Chains A and B, each alone.
Chain A
Amino acid sequence: MFTDLFKETIRSLAGNKIRSGLTILGIVIGIASVITMVSIGQGAQSSIESNIQSIGSNLIVISPGAQRGATVSTGRGSAQTLTVEDAEGIKAQVADIKGVSPEVSKRYQITAKGTNTNTQVVGTVPDYLDVRSLKVDFGSFLTDQQNKTSAKVAVLGPTTRDDLFGINADPIGQTIRIKNVDFEIIGVTLSKGGSGFMNPDDQIYVPLTSAQHFLSGDTFVSTISVAATDQNSMVLVQQQATDLLLQRHKIIDPTQADFNIMNQTDIVATASSITGTFTILLSSIAGISLLVGGIGIMNMMLTTVTERTREIGLRKAVGVRKIYINLQFLAEAVVLTFLGGGVGIFLGWLASLLVAKFVNLPAQVSLSSILLAFGVSAGVGIIFGFYPARRAANLSPIEALRYE
Chain B
Amino acid sequence: MIECKNLVKNYLNGDVETQALKGISFRIEKGEFVSIIGPSGSGKSTLMHILGALDSPTSGQYFLDGVDVSGLGDDELSDLRRNKIGFVFQSFNLLPRATVLRNVMLPLLYSGTSQKEREERARECLRYAGMEESKFQNLSNQLSGGQMQRVAIARALINNPSIILADEPTGNLDTKTSHIAMQTLRELNEKGHTIIIITHEKEIADLTDRIISVRDGVIESDVRVNSNQ
What is A's interface to B at a CB cutoff of 8 Å?
1, 4-5, 8, 11, 15-16, 310-311, 313-324, 396-398, 401
Contact = CB atoms under 8 A, between A and B. Distances in A.
Given A1-B112, A396-B55, A318 B89 contact: no
Interface residues of B, number: 27
B193 interface: no
Contact of B78 (A4, A8, A311, A320): A320
Contact of A321 (B79, B87, B95): B79
Interface in B61-116: 74-75, 78-83, 85, 87, 89, 93, 95, 97-98, 102, 106-107, 109-110, 112
B109 A316 contact: no
19 contacts: A1-B110, A4-B110, A8-B109, A16-B97, A314-B93, A317-B93, A318-B81, A318-B106, A319-B80, A319-B82, A319-B85, A319-B107, A322-B78, A324-B109, A324-B110, A396-B54, A398-B49, A398-B54, A401-B89
Contacts of A8: 109
A398 B98 CA distance: 22
Contacts of B121: none
Contact of B97 (A15, A317, A321, A397): A15
B210 to A, nearest CB: 25
A212 to B, nearest CB: 80
Given A313-B93, A319-B80, A320-B107, 15 more contacts: A5-B110, A8-B109, A314-B95, A314-B106, A315-B106, A317-B93, A318-B82, A318-B87, A319-B82, A319-B85, A320-B82, A323-B75, A324-B109, A396-B55, A398-B54
A11 B109 CA distance: 13
B54 A311 contact: no
A398 B112 CA distance: 26
Given A4-B109, A15-B97, A16-B97, A319 B55 contact: no
A306 to B, nearest CB: 16
A321 B81 contact: no
A310 B93 CA distance: 8
B54 A397 contact: yes
B95 A319 contact: no
B155 interface: yes
Contacts of A398: 49, 54-55
B78 A321 contact: yes
Contact of A318 (B74, B75, B112, B155): B155
Contacts of A317: 52, 54, 81, 87, 89, 93
Contacts of A321: 75, 78-79, 110
Contact of B75 (A5, A315, A322): A322
A352 B93 CA distance: 49
A319 B97 contact: no
A319 B54 contact: no
Nearest to A8: B109
A316 B53 CA distance: 11
Contacts of B110: 1, 4-5, 320-321, 324
A315 B82 CA distance: 10
Contact of A320 (B85, B98, B109): B109
Nearest to B95: A311
Contacts of B102: 11
Contacts of A313: 93
B98 A11 contact: yes
A401 B112 CA distance: 26
Given A318-B87, A319-B107, A324-B109, A401 B98 contact: no
A319 B93 contact: no
A310 B91 CA distance: 11
A322 B110 CA distance: 11
Contacts of B55: 396, 398
A316 B89 contact: no
- Residue with the greatest number of chain A CB neighbours at <10 A, chosen from B54, B83, B102, B155: B54
A5 B109 CA distance: 8
A139 B78 CA distance: 88
A46 B93 CA distance: 60
A310 to B, nearest CB: 7
Contacts of A16: 97
Nearest to B158: A318
Contacts of B159: 319
A314 B190 CA distance: 28
A175 B78 CA distance: 90
B163 to A, nearest CB: 13
A220 B176 CA distance: 106
Nearest to A2: B110
B98 A319 contact: no
A315 B95 CA distance: 10
A323 to B, nearest CB: 8
Contact of A15 (B52, B87, B98): B98
Contacts of B54: 317, 396-398
A354 B82 CA distance: 56
B95 A316 contact: no
Contacts of B87: 317-318
A302 to B, nearest CB: 20
Contacts of A4: 109-110
